[in-house]
Amino acid sequence: MFSNQEFQELLNFTAAQSQVITLYLNTDIGQEPQEVIRLKAKNLLKTLPDIFEEDVEKIETYLDREFDWKPSGLAIFSCAAEGLWRVIPTYVSFRNRIRTSSKPHVKPLAHLLDHYGHYGVILIDRLGARFYAYHLGHCVDSDGYMGEENRKLKAGAGSSAVGLKGGSDGSRHVLETWQRNSREAASAAAGFFEGHPIRRLFLGGAAETISYFQLQLPRQLQACIAGQFNIDMDAPELEVQQKSIALLGETNARREASLVREMIDRAKSGGNGVLTLDPTLKAVFEGRVKTLIISDGFRQKGYSYQDTGFLSSELVIDQPEAAGQPQRVEDVVEAAVERTLSQGGHVELISENEELEESGKIGAILRY
């Protein structure tokens, strides 16, 4: 399971005398056959110069002989000359791309961790519940709770007295059993997720059952609830995985649209927001970026200044921040991502948002 610590190790890696190949692939064989995906990967690798021959051979061997083709996405980081080889399969697909640089290209990976890292699913009915802990679309653990089965009293059995809210004793027993099962299932869920901290939680089942159950959860888990969906308690885990990933995609799309709108509103009102590349790079340099927002695929060559680390898209000679020898940078956007993450900020990689495209493809929500 890929962790934040491993992500930091990639973020901190710099090749001293060579370059790192970063390859992201959509490996969903439900969309395309293995042969087509392999061919697309080989075509990407063919664009590299001969100096990467050892890395290319290792990547092709892995795809041909070792990768099991179950995950929907694959990230590979390779620098044979300096001992870097990292393969990250995920159950969330990537857009195909290849990069070479002295550092790993981590933008898509940062996006993946932020949006699909550590979430949970609870399936609930009147008898019990099933719990799933997911990370990057992969089920890392599961458990469940089974309560008392609801059995209505036979006609003539028990008291003839009218039950709660005008119902019979049998109906009251069914209701009380269901509610007790829900309370105990919620308690069991709390115990399960204590060992699997999550950021988002999805509830599956009938609307009425979910409505009562979620009120029994601890406030910490209630605050994580991001959506609900209709599903049978006995559904296979693959169906749970697929539906939860789709829900995450919908939830993230709404969240991304809201973030872009917030950034634009703040920037246009003179608040804590900034738009377009160079103003954003300056805010990164000043350590003011809370959330860096980038259109997926946006790249730009530029400069980094040796004495200060200042970044710019064009050569700057008349600003005090641009002190020291300028060094050519293949992608200042990637450099801004690395700097933002090292400063404790967040990075949002957003696809197909017209407002972001029209606002310069990059911007930020600022701390101050």
User: Which domain CATH number covers 356?
Assistant: 3.30.1330.30
pLDDT at residue 158 tops 60: no
Do residues 272 and 347 both lie within one domain? yes
* Percent of the chain surpassing pLDDT 70: 94
The whole-model pTM stands at 0.81
Together in a domain, 231 and 123: yes
- Same domain flag for 130 and 229: yes
Same domain, 223 and 128: yes
Same domain, 14 and 80: yes
Task: Note whether 124 and 78 are same-domain residues.
Answer: no
Cβ proximity of 72 and 28 under 8 Å: yes
pLDDT at position 318 is 83
Q: Indicate if 9 and 90 belong to the same structural domain.
A: yes
Q: Could you tell me which of 290, 291, 259, 268 has the C-alpha nearest to residue 367?
A: 290
CATH code where residue 131 lies:
3.30.420.60
Same domain, 87 and 128: no
- Residue 242 falls inside a structural domain: no
Place of tokens 């063919």: 46
| Residue 143 structural domain | 116-149+176-235
How many separate domains does the chain show? 3
> Which residues 6+ apart lie within 8 Å of 254 measured at CB?
none
In a domain, 189, yes or no: yes
At 183-230, the pLDDT tens digits run 999 999 999 999 999 999 999 999 999 999 999 999 999 999 999 999
Identify whether residues 300 and 353 lie together within a single domain.
Answer: yes
CA distances (Å), 351 to each of 133, 180, 257, in order?
27, 45, 10
Q: For 275-296, what is the mean pLDDT?
A: 97
Report the candidate in 116, 170, 108 with the shortest Cα–Cα distance to residue 294. Answer: 108
State how far the Cα of 164 lies from the Cα of 152, in Å rounded to an integer.
15
Q: Are residues 203 and 314 in the same domain?
A: no
On the question of pLDDT at 305 being above 60, the answer is yes
SS3 readout for 144-195: EEECCCCCCCCCCCCCCCECHHHCEHHHHHHHHHHHHHHHHHHHHHHHHHHC
Q: What is the pLDDT of residues 36-74, one digit of tens each?
A: 999 999 999 999 999 999 999 999 999 999 999 999 999
Q: How would you classify the pairing of strands 84-90 and 73-79? A: antiparallel
Residue 300 pLDDT = 96
Per-residue confidence at 170, pLDDT binned at 50, 70, 90? low
Residue 169, pLDDT score? 65
> Residue 97 is part of a domain; what is its CATH number?
3.30.960.10
* CA–CA gap between residue 99 and residue 197 (Å, rounded): 33
- pLDDT confidence bin for 151, thresholds 50/70/90: low
143 and 77 in a common domain: no
CA angle 30, 109, 28 (to 5 degrees): 5
